Structure 1
Amino acid sequence: MNVQPRPPGTGGRPVGYALSGAAGGFARTLLAQTLLIPALAPAVLCDVDVPRLHALCLELGYAPERLRTCTDAEQTAAATAAGHIALVADQELLGAGQWDVLVEATGSPAHGYAMARAALTAGRHVAMVSKEVDSVAGLHLARLAADNDVVYAPAEGDQPGNLIRLLDWARLLGMDVVAIGKSSEYDLVFDPATGTVTQLDRTVPAPAIGELLTLGEDVRGTLAARADAVAALPTGATADYCEMAVVANNTGFRPDVERLHYPVARIAELADIYSLREHGGVLHETGAVDVFSALRLPDEASFAGGEFVVLRTNDAETWRILAEKGHVVSEDGRYATVYLPYHLMGVETPATLLAIAAHGRTPDAAPPGRHAVLAGRAQRDLAAGTVLDMGGHHHDVTGVQAVLLRDEDAPADVAPLYLAAHAELGRDVAAGELITLSDLANPDPALVEAWNLGGEWAREVA
């Protein structure tokens, strides 16, 4: 996004941002990129581990004399007024500093919501990185932003923000988009020499993939065979469902099935796979959001957790010309795929921050709605008194399968997954049942209120 920012303050000062979860991986990439952008500057960095945060800033090349560890509001205010960077452990100190946009990157629904709410009600913008926060409280935070004439938006650099921008671009061009989505975080890399498939640091035998590298005429049959061949590898990260919940509620696209399709797919096949079932694909209807597992050979480029849109072609000759140039068009010519093979984390987030400062909005922003709900089904019988702990890989909730429900399929009292996380069950939940708010003995009252108020607002603006 090429943006010429209007400095929000006087004297041409840079756009100042506060950053929560500031010692994490996403934060590191943003802080590193900021050093290359004179129009942008960190003002307050918040993390529970301030010594680690201080060491990170020094490692990245921030001048030691700019870094001020602050333990109260007066110190924080003085540090930012002098152009220094305030490092704080207490989230309550964020508001004492001088800055324009909060980048919320804790991943904690309770803490992230509290910080975002405080920023918005104080008349400051919020760029949301924490999908967990957005999946529970995003609609209410959007309402607070509207009420206070500021911006609340998913940040570019993470897949939701990138995919929303890609869809905005496609809509601007009048494209008839039938499906949108992303790849799962880690590719499936097939080595023909060994007949194995590697996903990140795990390798399993999968010789059958060697005979399944092309879709053939039976697309769904091939996909089923591929899924069987790599069944030893995990599919369906909770983080993927959460990201697609954010996308659904910001775009109106909804899951085609609650567990998503997760096809094992090569990039060139996406237009054929995400076509309607009557045309050989997997979709029951248009307007779908989904995730695929990228299959590639060792010497092929990665999809890198990137994003895609699948569209209906219009003029056949136009798309024949584009197909000759290497663009992905389905075998029957009805569909095409446009994609971004990347998400660069905080390296891209400055585009969102500068756009907000320049325009007081993000381009083509539209009011979100509750089009899908990230919920959870019990994977086994769960007894009353069970604490729904977080554990495992990618923010799983122990004993609970993440699902993405279409709005009309979500019971009125369904518990959003990251509101249920860490809560105790007040009654037994049988395997396969959705976890509801009434099942929880001690849900966070602030998050419950945010969830309910967000639903009310969504109904008002629908």
Structure 2
Amino acid sequence: MLNMNKELARLEKEGTPIKVAIVGAGKMGKGLVNQMSRIRGMLPALVINRNAEKAINALLSAGIKKDDMVISNSLKKINFALEKGKYVISEDIDIAAKANEIQVVVDATGVPKVGAKLSMDAIHNGKHIVMLNVEADSVVGPILHRYAKEAGVIYTGTAGDEPGAVMELYDFAVGLGFEVLAIGKGKNNPINLEANPITVYDEALKKKLKPNMLAAFIDGTNTMIEMTCMANATGFVPDIRGGHGIVSNIDDLTSFMRLKEKGGVLNKYEVVDYVRGIAPGVFLIFTTNLEEVHSQLEYLKMGSGPNYVLYRPYHLTSLETPNTIFEACINRRATIAPTEGVIADTVTVAKKNLKAGEKLDGIGGYTVYGSIEEYKVAKNQNLVPIGLIDEDTKVLRDIKKGEFITYDMVELDCNSLIYKLRKLQEDNM
């Protein structure tokens, strides 16, 4: 990305900016629209939301005049407006992949089944797809990545989210020849497995978040999903189901994140985990077998070894997504993608006692939460990934609070695209 500024300036000068469709005008989508409005050579040309008013507000908050906007669900009108340089707003998600001028589609919905459809539509229509939707990526990312590669487009997670931020550290360390031992993210609060939209409502209101989004942070599901994406991109696995989740600062991190026989908590290396006390940052633990390199690292105040930590103290979520858009469109590179296949899963756990015949909800709801597990273990135990659970999922037998949910315990929507993609992924990868 060293030449990003110059290349975007060139595109701006030539009148050929990267035109982007952003689907979802919530906190992440709105932030992206605003940030992109200040970038030369890149436009939030098409903003799609179920409620057009939210998309309009996103553009208005970025200083874009209403006279420069066109609101339509007609593909013909939208194509004409985009050609004329207008900002377009639509409530039709299918438009994102079909609009002629659009080069990159950004999924900022956070809804697994929406992400699956949006990705497939983008791939089939020759558009690059940028996923802020880790919820979908953790379930069907590997097969979507394969389809994108076959179609000659880029499927990528985003810079600024923790998985993308970790991948920057990972690429840096591996590229320099270091041995990477562990990767992970910070968490800014203790996990409360009983968190739901009601218990977090007041806090969500203060933070201007949807209650179910905040509930997914607090019950740990979001953290588990992000670690799953890290695992599928690097081949690293959770050391234990759900992760250790130690409490540590950066200075003490290498003391904890080492093997048990060395006084740490780990059973093995090449693992992914989370740590309370270093949020909002991400980390990587590395070592080397070269004495001269150890000597230089100590001289450079990286610690006394043998393990060292790389730490990125921030992640700017969708404000960094333009970096990924540029890399995908201009350099045809992914920021992070599930290139290692299906390494881990975020499996489903009952948040409360569930009765036969009851309907579930999904991520950030009242009925279930997620926990990371190695994929081979999850598959052997027939565990359901939480991204397949939604409001149409029916409980087939009584399930106790804290019980891991298997496929035979629930009735899923087998006709949904995300279910079909998951089945294809399990059968072919």
Partner of 2:371: 403
Per the TM alignment, residue 363 of structure 1 is displaced from its structure 2 partner at its CA by 6.3
Distance 2:336 2:229 in 1: 16
The yes-or-no answer on 1:305 pairing with 2:270 is no
Cα offsets for 1:151-180 (capped at 9, x unmatched): 101111111112122211211111101100
Cα offsets for 1:66-86 (capped at 9, x unmatched): 211112111211111111111
Partner of 1:215: none
Amino acid at match of 1:398: Y
Q: Which one of 48, 51, 54 corresponds to residue 52 of structure 1?
A: 54
Distance 1:252 1:26 in 2: 28
> What is the 5 A alignment of 1:221-232?
none
The yes-or-no answer on 1:349 pairing with 2:321 is yes
The yes-or-no answer on 1:132 pairing with 2:131 is no
Give the TM-score, by structure 1 length. Answer: 0.80
Aligned residues of 1:143 and 1:454 also touching (Cα < 8 A)? no
Distance 1:284 1:236 in 2: 25
Aligned length: 400
Partner of 2:339: 367
> What is the 5 A alignment of 1:78-89?
78-89=80-91
The yes-or-no answer on 1:176 pairing with 2:179 is yes
* Structure 1 unaligned residues grouped into runs of 5+: 189-199, 203-233, 295-302
Distance 1:411 1:365 in 2: 22
Distance 2:301 2:328 in 1: 35
Superposition CA RMSD, Å: 2.7
Q: Describe the SS at the equivalent of 1:348.
A: helix
Change (3 A) 1:183 1:235: same
Change (3 A) 1:421 1:17: same
The yes-or-no answer on 1:240 pairing with 2:210 is no
Aligned residues of 2:244 and 2:274 also touching (Cα < 8 A)? yes
The yes-or-no answer on 1:429 pairing with 2:429 is no
Distance 2:332 2:161 in 1: 21
Partner of 2:28: 26
Distance 1:187 1:442 in 2: 31
Change (3 A) 1:235 1:133: closer
Partner of 2:272: 289
Q: Which has the larger radius of gyration?
A: 1
> What is the 5 A alignment of 1:190-339?
237-294=220-277, 303-316=278-291, 318-323=293-298, 325-327=300-302, 329=303, 333-339=305-311
Distance 1:364 1:242 in 2: 14
* Structure 2 unaligned residues grouped into runs of 5+: 192-201, 205-216
Partner of 1:229: none
Q: Identity, % of aligned pairs?
A: 28
Per the TM alignment, residue 430 of structure 1 is displaced from its structure 2 partner at its CA by 3.8
Amino acid at match of 1:370: V
Distance 1:64 1:399 in 2: 42
Per the TM alignment, residue 380 of structure 1 is displaced from its structure 2 partner at its CA by 4.4
> What is the 5 A alignment of 1:32-71?
32-71=34-73
Amino acid at match of 1:113: A
Q: Which one of 418, 425, 428 corresponds to residue 454 of structure 1?
A: 425
Per the TM alignment, residue 10 of structure 1 is displaced from its structure 2 partner at its CA by 12
Distance 2:295 2:252 in 1: 16
Amino acid at match of 2:177: G
Change (3 A) 1:366 1:440: closer
Change (3 A) 1:10 1:384: farther
Cα offsets for 1:297-337 (capped at 9, x unmatched): xxxxxx4422110012444554455445443x36xx21100
Aligned residues of 1:142 and 1:368 also touching (Cα < 8 A)? no
Q: Describe the SS at the equivalent of 1:367.
A: coil
